[in-house]
Amino acid sequence: MEPNESEVARSVSVTQSLLWCGVLAGPFYLAVGLAQALLREGFDLGRHPLSLLANGPGGWIQTANFVLTGLLVLAAAVGLGRVLGPKSRAVTWFLGGFGVAMLVAAIFRADPLDGFPPGTPKGFPTSISSTGLVHFVAGAFGFIFLAISCFFAARVLSRRNVPLALISLLSGLAVVLGFFGGFVLPLGILGIWIAVVVGWAWLAIISFRLNRLA
């Protein structure tokens, strides 16, 4: 039986709401993180990743930031799947995996590092706690899932929207090179920032553009 106009309108409204979650996820995460970075004593954007903000007094704010942003990403993954159709299943699952990784990173926070929070010894520790290790693994898998989602999106969009496909491909490469290149190139914290900003920008752009197609 054909759906009536009200059912179609309701479905479109739900899809657009889910995609708006993708538009807002990155700006929300960065705004909350950067606000803390500027207000928290001892935090240095040139040395510390935002995940360290989950430590010390007020650390619950960054933990909540991870949880809320992870939920927004999961919603966006569903929205992308509703617009792109069955062929986008891999995009949805890997983007959803990125959202789940953020939730895991919220539960298992990063170890204190390089003078933050105040009182932590300078430099990198010689050992890592089990909680910190899970956080690091979750972060690594999160960036891998995000990059793979970009690559699959590029494939799905290659025949429908070439500019979006190209943006997806380049974004996936930037996420991989930014996060993992920092371990082999003298990028330091800059590599992580490249991966974070490009990844969020990609999700916002593709969610916004697909919202108009919904």
What pTM did the predictor assign? 0.92
Q: Which residues pair with 116 in a beta bridge?
A: 113
> How many residues are present in the chain?
214
**Other CB atoms within 10 A of residue 146 CB:** 29
Report the pLDDT value the prediction gives residue 62, as an integer from 0 to 100: 97
DSSP for 25-44? HHHHHHHHHHHHHHHSTT--
Residue type, position 138, single letter:
A
Q: Supply the DSSP symbol for 185.
A: S
Nearest to 91 by CA among 181, 8, 14, 160: 160
CA dist 173 and 129 (Å) reads 31
Report the pLDDT value the prediction gives residue 180, as an integer from 0 to 100: 81
Report residue 32 as tokens: 């909350």
Helix/strand/coil for 182: coil
pLDDT tens digits in sequence order for the chain, 214 residues long: 556 778 777 888 999 999 999 999 999 999 999 999 999 999 999 889 999 999 999 999 999 999 999 999 999 999 999 998 888 899 999 999 999 999 999 999 999 999 999 989 988 888 899 999 999 999 999 999 999 999 999 999 998 889 999 999 999 999 999 888 766 666 678 888 999 999 999 999 999 999 887 6
Q: Give the C-alpha distances (Å, rounded to integers) separating 103 from 92, 134, 138, 169.
A: 17, 12, 9, 26
